[in-house]
Amino acid sequence: MTPALQIVSATADHAEAVWTIFQEVIATGDAYVFDESTSREDFMAYWFSPKSHAHVAILDGEVLGSYIVKANQPGRGSHVANASYMTASAARGRGIAGKMCEHSLHLAKSLGFQAMQFNIVVATNTVAVKLWQKHGFRIVGTLPKAFHHAVSGVVDAHVMFRELDDIG
Amino acid sequence: MTPALQIVSATADHAEAVWTIFQEVIATGDAYVFDESTSREDFMAYWFSPKSHAHVAILDGEVLGSYIVKANQPGRGSHVANASYMTASAARGRGIAGKMCEHSLHLAKSLGFQAMQFNIVVATNTVAVKLWQKHGFRIVGTLPKAFHHAVSGVVDAHVMFRELDDIG
């Protein structure tokens, strides 16, 4: 029997694995705004903030991915969630990001959010754009040259958005 | 001779006046994401952050407005600036926001930013939308019901953007 992917709240026990995945994710410089200058301290304060609802995806005891859900804006914009996802490089192409996305949509709904917004989805990262579209997000705007891609230089980035009305 | 509006870097001496303006601005609940639950401590940490480049607009010794310029994203998105502006309620309609906007565009350019983005311009705040358009910003996307307006309930908000190529 194949063990199932489990998605659970992140704890201090997962911090080292999440930091390792973060370093893998930013090393390519093609998808995430954080760059190599990000200190472990700054990353940890951001990802494991009490406001961030960090989760991890675990398969057979190994942390293969992590995501956070938080309010995208304070106060009068706080009914719209924001989320970020990271998958370990060795675990790519196995549907883990999609499963984390589904989990995060239900979490956001249960937390009372009415919509979810991604602020800077790199336009050249077509795998991600298509994945988020598959999960109900649409491009509501494109920011010209807003992302400094490690290989391609400045490239466009999308703002993506979805309501949570259809989430159970 | 009419005294001219001066726009200078904010210091601790301006903090009380800026806090007063902030409270006026958020009281109407129609333009700013911050709401009345924002503590003085949180606001001060945000507005006077070393990363925020806070400025004040002063006329005849009185602080009539304040703005900040900062990076809109970390790392690979940090070449795009973000700015926020506030005008004292008694000083509205005198072109102060426009002058602060022009000043902020030059400041952003001098700091090395390549563009400026506003993340959540309330769509019903047509005076602001038109003002930013006059200063070269365009609507690159609209976020459905992303702002909880104190009177109208949830209303749309725009993402606005402009390059800084034409700024001297």
Q: For A75-86, what is each residue's pLDDT tens digit?
A: 999 999 999 999
pLDDT value for A17: 98
Chain B CB contacts of A75 under 8 Å are 26, 32-35, 37-38, 148
Measured between its terminal Cα atoms, the distance across chain B in Å is: 29
**Does B45 lie at the interface with A, CB-CB under 8 angstroms?**
no
Q: What letter does residue A3 receive in the DSSP assignment?
A: P
Q: What letter does residue A135 receive in the DSSP assignment?
A: T
CB contact residues (below 8 A), chain B span 78-117, against chain A: 78-80, 114-115, 117
Alpha helices in A3-95 (DSSP H): 15-27, 40-47
8 A C-beta contact, residue B71 and residue B49: no
**Does A163 lie at the interface with B, CB-CB under 8 angstroms?**
yes
**Does B136 lie at the interface with A, CB-CB under 8 angstroms?**
no
8 A C-beta contact, residue B93 and residue B77: no
Q: How far apart are CA B134 and CA A61, in angstroms?
A: 57
Closest CA to A100 of A13, A34, A7, A9: A7
Q: How far apart are CA B160 and CA B132, in angstroms?
A: 8
Q: How far apart are CA A24 and CA A64, in angstroms?
A: 12
Residues 6+ apart with CB under 8 A from A161: A115, A116, A117, A118, A137, A138, A140, B143, B144
Report the chain A residue with the minimal C-alpha distance to residue B146.
A77
Q: From residue A7, give the alpha-carbon distance in Å to each of A10, A17, A137.
A: 9, 14, 21
Angle in degrees, 0-180, between the axes of helices B15-27 and B40-47, rounded to the nearest 10? 110
Q: CB distance B143–A163 less than 8 Å?
A: no
pLDDT, tens digit, 9 for 90 and up, residues A23-71: 999 999 999 999 999 999 999 999 999 999 999 999 999 999 999 999 9
Q: What letter does residue B157 receive in the DSSP assignment?
A: E
**Does B152 lie at the interface with A, CB-CB under 8 angstroms?**
no
Instruction: Quote the tokens at residue A134.
Output: 């598959």
Tell which of A23, A25, A76 to mutate to test the B interface (max B CBs under 10 Å).
A76
Task: Report chain A's mean pLDDT, rounded to a whole number.
Answer: 96
Closest CA to B83 of B44, B113, B38, B127: B113
How close, in Å, is residue A18 to chain B by CA atoms? 19
What is the percentage of chain A residues whose pLDDT exceeds 90?
96
- pTM: predicted TM-score of the whole model, two decimal places: 0.96
8 A C-beta contact, residue B85 and residue B135: no
Quick check: helix, strand or coil at residue B168?
coil
How close, in Å, is residue A109 to chain B by CA atoms? 15
Distance of CA A128 to the CA centre of its chain: 10
Q: How far apart are CA A86 and CA A99, in angstroms?
A: 12
8 A C-beta contact, residue B39 and residue B132: no
pLDDT, tens digit, 9 for 90 and up, residues B62-83: 999 999 999 999 999 999 999 9
What is the percentage of chain B residues whose pLDDT exceeds 70?
99
Alpha helices in chain B (DSSP H): 15-27, 40-47, 96-110, 126-134
Residue given tokens 């795009």 in the structure block: B80
pLDDT, tens digit, 9 for 90 and up, residues B135-164: 999 999 999 999 999 999 999 999 999 999
pLDDT, tens digit, 9 for 90 and up, residues A82-115: 999 999 999 988 999 999 999 999 999 999 999 9
Residue pairs spanning A and B at CB distance below 8 A: 113
Chain A CB contacts of B120 under 8 Å are 73, 77
pLDDT at A1 over 80: no
**ipTM for this model:** 0.95
